[in-house]
Homo-oligomer: A and B are copies of this chain.
């Protein structure tokens, strides 16, 4: 059942309608209410399903430093979420308190405890990392959804350059220059760079 849900947001961008799901499963719209009390519950199910796709073993059990392991987990999270970009906007819509969300948080807290942070600092640092990861991924999806079905990265860079060419360089000189700079970066590189700045900040806490 919930398998059909993810199949749906693969096809449509924000076509996560109850009626659409029912049609895809080949059933009447109201039959969905046998399994879910309302649409919010369906969305929650999709979010949990997606978070379950995150491979926690990506942060190896004894691999490198705690920083590398946190970074690997964050990159794996991004990979899992960007596999279904249409579902990403649904995550920030409501609180993430399902089992898979909590398991991810637990894993993160373990890694931060290994880093030597006391529980209070680890709690705040974990929240910071989660805010950064989900915020970054959500903005990435928001900035690109408009061009049709997922053009390759190099084409999107060109599109970004075109879009920012309209920025009035005389009135907003720094923004125009920054746009040129950012257009040269691959999204994942920016994500990883920001992640390491956050990790730097946490290390000083």
Contact = CB atoms under 8 A, between A and B. Distances in A.
Contact of A138 (B92, B110, B122, B199): B92
Nearest to A130: B139
Interface residues of A, number: 57
B131 A139 contact: yes
Interface string A68-90: 00000000000000000000010
Identical copies in the complex = 2
A172 B126 CA distance: 14
A66 to B, nearest CB: 14
A204 interface: yes
Contact of A175 (B106, B124, B131, B138): B106
A76 B202 CA distance: 24
Given A138-B138, A193-B124, A194-B131, A95 B143 contact: yes
Interface stretch (A2-10, A27-35, A52-60, A176-184): A176-184
A182 B127 contact: yes
Interface of A is mostly: helix
Contacts of A181: 119-120, 123-124
7 contacts: A102-B175, A105-B175, A120-B181, A125-B197, A126-B178, A128-B193, A200-B204
Interface of A: 89, 92-95, 97, 102-103, 105-106, 109-110, 113, 119-120, 122-128, 130-132, 134-136, 138-139, 142-143, 145-146, 163, 167, 172, 174-175, 177-179, 181-182, 185, 190, 193-194, 196-202, 204-205
